[in-house]
């Protein structure tokens, strides 16, 4: 089973992943992973995040290359071996974030991004969506890069809502505005139930 954690920057995904890693009740062989990855593709993504002048379309393809490598070399082998996988961000992040970044270039930017992934990506079995308003998200994240501004996060949130509306059975919405410990405990409970 592939379980993903999604949400705006500052929603608490990293804290929740740490809580999951410490949870004794999860299978010992659970693979914990993330996007962008720690591969050289992921490094290229991180470099583009820090470059305010990076071309948004070129950036999409950096993210897509990182995702393709992640699916091929981490996700599919683990799932083929019957090993559960928990990923901090996955394809929905690309749809929501790059869909927002490219909104000035394509009429349906998120649809364009999804269409590129459609033939080869592996959809999550379940996605925990850490729901938080863009203002709080930007404050928590420190708005340290171009993706963490309130205006950008508002569009990202709209894209996440569209994804949730299209696949409500896949998403588990959790209120991430609550204290970190409460959110992390709910995430651990949800993943225990799913796995």
- Cis before 36 (ω within 30): yes
- Centre a 10 Å sphere on the Cβ of residue 99 and count the other Cβ atoms it contains: 25
Average pLDDT along the chain, 195 residues, taken 10 residues at a time: 96 94 91 97 94 93 98 98 97 97 96 97 98 89 72 94 98 95 95 92
Within a domain: 171 = yes
- Reading the block at residue 18, the tokens are 């740490």
Within a domain: 80 = no
d(CA 184, CA 63): 27
Q: Edge-to-edge, what's the strand order for the sheet holding 171-175?
A: 31-34, 85-88, 2-7, 126-131, 171-175
The 8-class DSSP code of residue 149 comes to S
Q: Which residue has the tokens 């990202």?
A: 156
pTM listed for this prediction: 0.93
Point out the annotated binding site.
7-14
Domain residues for 166? 2-30+89-194
Total domain count for the chain?
A: 1
Within a domain: 52 = no
Within a domain: 14 = yes
pLDDT value of residue 146? 66
d(CA 146, CA 189): 33
Within a domain: 134 = yes
pLDDT value of residue 143? 66
Point out the annotated binding site for ATP.
7-14
d(CA 172, CA 59): 29
d(CA 89, CA 192): 19
d(CA 19, CA 148): 24
pLDDT value of residue 147? 73
CATH code at 94? 3.40.50.300
Within a domain: 43 = no
Within a domain: 60 = no
Within a domain: 58 = no
């Amino acid at each position: 089973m592939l379980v993903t954690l999604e949400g705006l920057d500052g929603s608490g995904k990293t804290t929740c992943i740490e809580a999951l890693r410490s949870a004794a009740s999860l299978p010992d062989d659970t693979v914990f992973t993330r996007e962008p990855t720690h591969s050289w593709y992921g490094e290229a993504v991180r470099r583009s995040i820090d470059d305010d002048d990076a071309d948004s379309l070129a950036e999409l393809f950096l993210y897509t290359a990182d995702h393709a490598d992640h699916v091929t070399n981490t996700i599919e082998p683990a799932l083929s071996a019957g090993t559960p996988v928990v990923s901090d961000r996955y394809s929905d992040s690309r749809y929501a974030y790059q869909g927002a970044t490219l909104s000035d270039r394509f009429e349906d930017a998120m649809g364009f991004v999804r269409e590129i992934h459609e033939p080869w990506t592996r959809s999550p079995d379940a996605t925990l969506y850490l729901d938080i308003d863009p203002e709080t998200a930007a404050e928590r994240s420190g708005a340290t890069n171009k993706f963490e501004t309130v205006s950008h996060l508002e569009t990202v949130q709209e894209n996440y809502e569209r994804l949730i509306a299209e696949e409500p059975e896949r998403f588990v919405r959790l209120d991430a505005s609550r204290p970190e410990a409460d959110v992390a405990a709910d995430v651990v409970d949800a993943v225990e139930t799913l796995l």
